[in-house]
Chains A and B, each alone.
Chain A
Amino acid sequence: MKTKLVALAAVATALTMGVSGCGSSSSSSGSKGDGTIASQMIFGGPPEFKTRPDGIPGLKKNYDVSFGKYTVTDVGGPVTVNALKRGQVDAADLFTTDPSIAANDFVILEDPKSNFAAQNVVPIITKSKATDGVKQVINGIQGKLTTEVLGGLLGKVVNDKADPADVAKGFLSDNGLDTTGTAAKGQSLTVGSANFPENVILGEIYAQALEAQGATISKKMNIGARPKYWESLKQGSIDLFPEYTGSILVYIDKNSTATSPDDVYAALGKALPSNLVALDQADAQDSDAIVVTKETADKFKLKTIADLAKKG
């Protein structure tokens, strides 16, 4: 009996020792580094960002930025936002149109060396449908689309649960783009979109503007990912699709090395199949971005990613 109790007690002691031992091991952080600002920082991002060419290796190559530690969070989602907001990480990988960037006063660090390939919003259209009138309508929209505007529209859908079609309508009337006319009269187009809110909003914007200008529109929203809709676009069963320059270029040409907005746009023009054409690219970008809190940006006077390599 006694021996049993002793043994049970031993097990219990071992457990508690293990518990206390664990508490100390989790707090070990390795931030000796080389004295740069980045070396004192913990970076938060998805697992693949650690090994992706434009992820941690690209930051090292282009800006000589090496972070002290990497905490795997999620793909630009709530875990990353919360970790950055609460100070578990100091810098994070988010998407430029993420409404939580503005909501939390986060600062996007500029990427002058284009480590991240440009991801400007670009409408891809069937060449035979791209009449001057249609071009004029769509390019008018493109001129109004900035990253902030797009982020604001996305916020209405993601945070306020608004309907993408209503958000699109609001955008068009706010910018005076909903005037009825005859620019696209007689044209009939099928407008598609991928299955994420931002792309649906863009699809709705194009569709509603063309409809107001007299075109006959049929919509195919929320189709899915690129492999699912690309063939239909190529074969002409979809005529107009909101795309992103960098992603669609790499999808067509895996070996593309273009990164700056103009280079990517030019390369995309050459890479597209002959029956498709890219209309004007918008200022709006939905790309990866290195994001810090306002306090961090002020404290270290950070404006661009390169500033992270300065001595802190």
Chain B
Amino acid sequence: MIGDVFNWLTDPSHWTSTAFDTGIWDQLLAHIGFTLIALAISLVIALPLGLWIGHTGKATWIISVANAARALPTVGVLVLLVVIIAPHFYGRTNNGYLIPTEIVLVLLAVPPILSNTYAGVQNVEPSVRDAAFGMGMTGPQVLFRVELPNSLPLIFSGFRSATLQVIATATIAAYVTLGGLGRFIYDGLAQQDYPQMISGGLLVAALALIADLLLALVQRYTVSRGITGRTRRQDRGSRGPDSRTAVLTEELVSEAT
């Protein structure tokens, strides 16, 4: 079986598309497409909302509601939305199936981003926040210069888990006529072509791992060195003007403890 999977994955004809069959490269692009749309919409919704709730402490019930929404059965919601939405689209368009799929993926991605953003902002040291206000910073300044940078590690972890979930779940697009890597899993099962099915699963897992690795890299270079503690020792003597924020945060933290 392992040999069959290897043969399936290394067969060049499975990678390129013909008029009739869509190959791995195009399904991979489609899968990444579904994922990026869902993550972009989720970020636009969840990030500002999480920051606002965390900063003001208002409407925290939204966090509970979002977390409760995680319990929604994804496939059930998808089929329901397809039945409602798809008949409104005519002609060659896939939108009748794409929109329900994206709604379902966004429902999946919003809770982790939202609750982690909220938790990140909420958990910034009160003394750090007080110090920022004490320096005469305005509310938005405190949010964007102190709270946001300090909560980035948590926001990233929320975004990364959302990314993994969306990549894994985007396979259900194949359930409603769309492409993506789920196509190989779904078709492989129906055609009793198990090497194809397993290969599909492996490709999804590989995509998820690579995406997480890339996000880990982005996180490494966006999160303040003052928070991660990375390269602190070597840098201590020769700080440029750019690391002022880091110094500030760092000193504030050490004062607080």
The residues of A with any CB-CB pair to B shorter than 8 Å are 1-4, 7-8, 11-12, 15-16, 18-19, 21-23, 25-26, 28-33, 42, 44, 46-48, 50-51, 66-73, 78-79, 82-83, 85-88
Let me know if A25 and B245 touch, CB within 8 A. no
Note all chain A residues with C-beta closer than 8 A to B96.
82, 86, 88
Does chain A have a CB within 8 A of B64?
no
Let me know if B242 and A2 touch, CB within 8 A. yes
Residues 172 to 210 of chain B near chain A (Cβ within 8 Å): 174, 176-177, 179, 183, 186-187, 189-193
Does chain A have a CB within 8 A of B116?
no
Q: A51-B193, A78-B83 are in contact. Are A67 and B90 (CB under 8 A)?
A: no
Note all chain B residues with C-beta closer than 8 A to A73.
177
Instruction: Report B103 CB to chain A, min CB distance, Å.
Output: 15
Let me know if B191 and A51 touch, CB within 8 A. yes
Let me know if A82 and B92 touch, CB within 8 A. no
Q: A32-B19, A72-B186, A86-B91 are in contact. Are A15 and B149 (CB under 8 A)?
A: no
Does chain A have a CB within 8 A of B93?
yes
Nearest B-chain residue to A31, judged by Cβ: B19
Question: Would you mind naming 25 contact pairs between A and B with Cβ atoms under 8 Å apart?
Answer: A1-B149, A3-B242, A4-B149, A12-B43, A19-B36, A19-B37, A21-B29, A22-B32, A22-B33, A22-B34, A25-B29, A25-B30, A25-B33, A26-B30, A46-B190, A47-B191, A72-B187, A86-B89, A86-B91, A87-B90, A88-B89, A88-B91, A88-B93, A88-B96, A88-B177
Instruction: Report A210 CB to chain B, min CB distance, Å.
Output: 39
When A and B form their complex, which 8 residue pairs have the shortest distance between CB atoms, in order from nearest? A22-B33, A30-B19, A47-B190, A18-B36, A47-B187, A7-B222, A15-B40, A48-B190
Does chain A have a CB within 8 A of B115?
no
Kindly state the separation between the CA atoms of A69 and B152 in the bound complex, as whole angstroms: 46
Let me know if A26 and B177 touch, CB within 8 A. no
Instruction: Report B175 CB to chain A, min CB distance, Å.
Output: 8
Kindly state the separation between the CA atoms of A217 and B194 in the bound complex, as whole angstroms: 45
Let me know if B29 and A22 touch, CB within 8 A. yes
Kindly state the separation between the CA atoms of A15 and B214 in the bound complex, as whole angstroms: 13
Let me know if B19 and A33 touch, CB within 8 A. yes
Let me know if A22 and B30 touch, CB within 8 A. yes
Let me know if B36 and A15 touch, CB within 8 A. yes
Instruction: Report A196 CB to chain B, min CB distance, Å.
Output: 19
Kindly state the separation between the CA atoms of A104 and B198 in the bound complex, as whole angstroms: 39
Note all chain A residues with C-beta closer than 8 A to B20.
30, 66-70
Instruction: Choose among A31, A68, A70, A79 the residue that contacts B176 (Cβ–Cβ < 8 A).
Output: A79
Instruction: Choose among B18, B92, B223, B242 the residue that contacts A29 (Cβ–Cβ < 8 A).
Output: B92
Instruction: Choose among A7, A12, A68, A83 the residue that contacts B221 (Cβ–Cβ < 8 A).
Output: A7
Residues 134 to 149 of chain B near chain A (Cβ within 8 Å): 145, 149
Instruction: Report A244 CB to chain B, min CB distance, Å.
Output: 21
Residues 1 to 51 of chain B near chain A (Cβ within 8 Å): 17-21, 26, 29-30, 32-34, 36-37, 39-40, 43
